């Protein structure tokens, strides 16, 4: 008769002793991190729409580890041992030998064989969401479509050259991080994927990493969404450090009000989408999703607007955060390159912020010291966060100074330039590597 132990009932606890110390420490650390992220989301320090489901998913997936039945374990091991890190490979070999394979019932992102995948689809309850929305980039397109519905491209049309110049300057981190990443030992594909964090545009990072470096998609995307909080918490200090209070207080000159009609905005969306798809067809799904949202908005299709800005955008955001959190299971995230990715993500966002402010200074001098240089940081495309941060810092220095229209123009252009950089990387890197 088999001996029954109390811990056999509480497998989340018993699996703690069945894994290597590194995975044990990672599980405990990620549980704490997930709870902390949820707290920051609740307090509004980080984006609650992402952080609450992501933090809860991260905590629960690392807590809810059990001993899988032999059939399920066999299907997972078929695909996992090939792509996993050395620590996880050793765990798979050891657990297969003694018949105890720790795992979860959430999803297995490393399973690729058709037969194994069909079996896992029936077992892991979030597997269909990952397989049909993440593995092909659909989740990024749905979020981008929702963003398009919220965008008022009139801010870009009224000041196109200024907005585009600032957005290009704010892509400095996206470009400069690539050679730094290569120098630190990453491949071209991996370097391009982590460099996209500099654009502060989560869907772009998601799409690029799934296309170029699928084996690092989880840590790269998690790094991206964790570091987007820097746009809220870190950029105000960067602005104060680089822009003196006297310059932050500059009040933009009153400009002639230019009324942009919905027809002109629709024409901009149609022409912009067509030209960008023609130039960068590898990123055409992103361009179509973004400008379809803009077209629906400007066409006044209220039934579509309500669906896209409601169920589609919020549903995609919910499952994006939840699935990313669940993907942060210790055995998946334990990759030797994760520390490098953390450093590079920070560098990318820092350089993009600096590049944007430098662009603001260039406009400040060329305009005869009439443009507030703070608007440059809004070129970093974390919309509308960086535009709001810029306005908030200017308001502290001069409550009567309103730079939000200029900042939003740069912000919206930042979304477009991030998509363009994605198209460039996705097109060129496979040819180079």
SS (H, E, C) the chain: CCCCCHHHHCHHHHHHHHCCHHHHHHHHHHHHHHHHHHHHHHHCCCCHHHHHHHHHHHHHHHHCCEEECHHHHHHHHHHHHHHCCHHHHHHHHHHHHHCCEEECCCCCCCCCCHHHHHHHHHHCCCHHHHHHHHCCCHHHHHHHHHHHHHCCCHHHHHCHHHHHHHHHHCCHHHHHHHHHHHHCCCCHHHHHHHHHHHHCCHHHHHHHHHHHCHHHHHHHHHHHHHHCHHHHHCHHHHHHHHCCHHHHCCCCCCCCCCCCCHHHHHHHHHHHHHHHHHHCHHHHHHHHHHHHHHHHHHHCCHHHHHHHHHHHHHHHHHHHHHHHHHHCCHHHHCCCCHHHHHHHHHHHHHHHHHHHHHHHHHHHHHCCCCCCHHHHHHHCCCCCHHHHHHHHHHHHHCCCCCCHHHHHHHHHHHHHHHHHHHHHHHHHHHHHC
10 Å CB burial of residue 389 (0-12, 13-18, 19+) is buried
Q: What is the pTM of this model?
A: 0.80
pLDDT (0 to 100) of residue 398:
92
pLDDT (0 to 100) of residue 82:
47
pLDDT (0 to 100) of residue 411:
93
Pairwise CA distance, residues 246 & 335, whole Å: 46
pLDDT (0 to 100) of residue 399:
92
The whole-number mean pLDDT for each consecutive block of 10 residues of the chain, a chain of 433 residues, reads: 55 76 86 87 79 85 78 59 51 52 73 66 78 82 90 89 94 96 94 92 87 85 77 86 93 80 90 88 87 90 90 91 83 76 91 95 91 93 87 93 91 91 90 75
- Give whole-number Cα distances, 194 to 22, 343, 403, in Å: 24, 10, 31
Q: Which two tokens stand for residue 25?
A: 């420490």
pLDDT (0 to 100) of residue 396:
93
pLDDT (0 to 100) of residue 63:
85
pLDDT (0 to 100) of residue 210:
86
10 Å CB burial of residue 122 (0-12, 13-18, 19+) is exposed
pLDDT (0 to 100) of residue 364:
93
pLDDT (0 to 100) of residue 71:
63
- The answer to whether residues 212 and 429 touch, using CB atoms and an 8 Å cutoff, is yes
């Amino acid at each position: 008769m088999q001996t029954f132990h109390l811990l056999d009932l509480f497998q989340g606890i018993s699996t703690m002793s069945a894994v290597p110390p590194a995975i044990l420490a990672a599980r405990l650390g990620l549980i704490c991190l997930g709870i902390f992220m949820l707290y920051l989301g609740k307090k509004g320090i980080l984006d609650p729409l992402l952080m609450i489901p992501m933090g809860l998913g991260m905590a629960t997936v690392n807590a809810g580890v059990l001993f899988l039945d032999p059939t399920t374990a066999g299907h997972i091991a078929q695909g996992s041992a090939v792509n996993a890190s050395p620590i996880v490979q050793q765990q798979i070999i050891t657990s297969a030998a003694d018949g105890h394979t720790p795992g979860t019932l959430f999803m297995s992102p490393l399973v690729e064989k058709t037969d194994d995948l069909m079996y896992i689809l029936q077992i892991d309850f979030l597997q269909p969401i990952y397989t049909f929305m993440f593995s092909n980039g659909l989740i990024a397109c749905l979020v981008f479509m929702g963003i398009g519905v919220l965008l008022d491209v009139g801010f870009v049309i009224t000041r196109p050259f200024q907005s585009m110049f600032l957005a290009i300057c704010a892509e400095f981190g996206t470009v400069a991080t690539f050679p730094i990443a290569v120098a630190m030992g990453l491949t071209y594909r991996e370097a391009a994927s982590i460099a996209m964090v500099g654009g502060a545009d989560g869907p772009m990072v998601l799409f690029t990493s799934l296309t170029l470096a699928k084996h690092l998609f989880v840590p790269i995307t998690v790094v991206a969404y964790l570091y987007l909080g820097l746009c809220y918490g870190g950029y105000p200090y960067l602005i104060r450090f680089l822009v003196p209070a006297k310059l932050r207080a500059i009040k933009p000159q009153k400009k002639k009000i230019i009324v942009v009609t919905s027809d002109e905005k629709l024409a901009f969306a149609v022409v912009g989408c067509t030209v960008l798809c023609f130039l960068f067809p590898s990123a055409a799904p992103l361009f179509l999703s973004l400008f379809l949202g803009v077209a629906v908005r400007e066409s006044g299709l209220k039934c579509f607007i309500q669906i896209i800005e409601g169920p589609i955008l919020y549903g995609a955001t919910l499952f994006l955060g939840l699935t990313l959190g669940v993907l942060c299971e210790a055995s998946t995230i334990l990759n030797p390159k994760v520390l490098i990715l953390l450093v590079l993500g920070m560098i990318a966002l820092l350089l993009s912020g600096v590049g944007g402010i430098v662009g603001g200074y260039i406009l400040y001098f060329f305009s005869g010291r009439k443009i507030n240089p703070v608007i440059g940081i809004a070129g970093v495309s974390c919309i509308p966060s960086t535009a709001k941060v810029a306005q908030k810092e200017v308001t502290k220095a001069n409550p009567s100074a309103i730079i939000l229209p200029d900042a939003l123009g740069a912000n919206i252009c930042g979304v477009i330039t991030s998509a363009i950089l994605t198209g460039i990387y996705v097109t060129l890197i496979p040819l180079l590597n």
